[in-house]
Amino acid sequence: MEARRALLAVPVLAGALALGGCAQGADSQAPGAAPSSSSPAAPIPSWAKVTGPPHIVPAVRDFRPANGIGWRPTKGARIVVPAGEKSTVADEAQLMAKDLGGLAVVWGNQDVRPGDVEVKLSGGAKGPDNAPGSTVDESYTLAARGGRLTLTAPTDAGVFYGTRTVKQAVRNAGGLPEGTIEDGPDRPQRGMLLDNARKSFTADWIEARIRQLADLKLNQLQLHFSDDQGFRIQSDSHPDIVSADHLTKDQVRHLIKVGQSLHVTLIPEIDSPGHLGAVLDHYPDLRLRNASGTPLRGAIDISNPQAGALIDSLLKEYAQLFPGPYWHLGGDEYQALMSSDPEARYPQLARAAQDKYGPGATIKDLATGWLNDRQKTVQAAGKTRIEAWNDGFFAGGKVAADKNRTVAYWTGKEIGARDPAEFLREGRTVLNLNDEFLYYVLGEPNNFTYPTGERIYKSWTPLVLRHTSPVSVPSSLTGADRIPGARFAIWNDRAQAQTAQQIAAGIRMPLAALAQKTWDPRTPALSWPDFKALVNRL
């Protein structure tokens, strides 16, 4: 708790909030609730009426207007937390107080006066340690009534998202209109992937992105920190593999704590059995070689028992660094399987497959077994939500991918790529990273173009997993339990094509559009020009 509080010194709203006089007296209550104050006749502060509906990003799901002047932050207004200073919502209350220009926070059983904001937990969270167990647990209610504002949610995550709504509403319109907001996300996983292996980013730049994600109610940041071009986090077990430009473990711990304070989970990815060039530069004997003895850049020889031992040692080390249940195994673009005749070009892999899995086994079986073994390693370290790229899952064969592995679906363009409908019919969970809409690839190689917020806003939904059309399966297979959400991916294939500042500018509108489309499945009420103008105001 103390570590989280120390991280809440975020900048206040752009420009000083105009603070006026505030009368004192009556308690706050949600519509229909019993008052908790003995002075209900206290006068309502006088301020210019806040007109609605509220316009924020992402848009609120439901707003029921009422007659009244709404709520604005005023001089003498307070954040009231009945649950006390040691409650799970204490951090969120303090953050909102800072965002609103430095309001006072008071704890315990206090009269809620006109102008105040009351922050309350409604209970009912099913996740451990008050963490969200579903999108319902990330929901919140905001009621502006009688000059007071009441924020209620089942978890501190829901409270946090309510504070983001208040922050944006004050910035955009000065406050919240009279009435009640009922809000919550459509998809539980909403976020961004950063390839910080091919291009190094400072800890400050990454922290700024975490704060940006949080303000948009996005809750995940995947770090692809190992690839052919670099290994970007300090290693104690294999210090030789670490690139000169890298994050220290203390910097990563700080970023994790920032994320925790803002309800953004950091998800690590060590890609294998491909994309391992930076590691294999120091272990050349473990490089995959073709039939003529030529080594392949980035591919590890999965027929060599020492290969698994090396990668497992890294998985164990970083599983201790990154808390939480998530782990991404990679599994994409293994060069042996991108050949027209893998068994002929890589006979050692073909032999190993049959030795391990019997006659008829193929290199695909060997690669599937490789990821299964790596999954066992991270599961033993406490990871329970395991992901891999869709081109690391194969149809048929003698070895099946672990049934609990999530398919991170990025492309339907690779050789032999399977339709996402197949995975859904198999009972798998499929996360959306559709490269047609959600891939920001530096330098635009291989016919990639920089994605635009407008195209995501107008044409994409979480159901558009491949190409440009929604996946063709019954609606019972497309709910949040099966397609849990999406991530916007930044890939630095041509690392010098843009600076970090240019990337930050380029992803701003796409992230806002992604936030809108993963929060609310309906067609947005605002036109694209109006949405873009709103984003610029906020």
Catalytic residues: 333
For residue 51, which phi and psi values (nearest 5 degrees)?
-95, 150
> Per the structure block, which two tokens stand in for 46?
């006088």
Give the 3-state secondary structure of 132-187: CCCHHHHCEEEEEECCEEEEEECCHHHHHHHHHHHHHHHHHHCCECCEEEEECCCC
User: Distance between terminal CA atoms of the chain?
Assistant: 29
For residue 188, which phi and psi values (nearest 5 degrees)?
-75, -20
Q: How far apart are CA 57 and CA 516, in angstroms?
A: 6
Residue appearing with tokens 């209610």:
141
> Per the structure block, which two tokens stand in for 366?
């060997």
DSSP string, 404-446: T-EEEE--S-STTPPPHHHHHHTT--EEE--TTTSEEETT--T
For residue 62, which phi and psi values (nearest 5 degrees)?
-150, 130
Contact 370, 388 (CB under 8 A): no
User: Can you list the positions of beta strands (E) in 9-59?
Assistant: none
Of the candidates 157, 162, 165, 164, the residue with the CA atom closest to the CA atom of residue 141: 162
Q: Cis link prior to 53 (omega < 30° from 0)?
A: yes
* Count of beta carbons in the 10 Å neighbourhood of residue 534: 17
Across-strand partners of 266? 221
For residue 384, which phi and psi values (nearest 5 degrees)?
-120, -15
Q: Label the pairing between strands 295-300 and 287-289.
A: antiparallel
Strand 78-81's sheet: what is its strand order?
A: 62-65, 179-183, 140-145, 148-153, 117-121, 78-81, 104-107
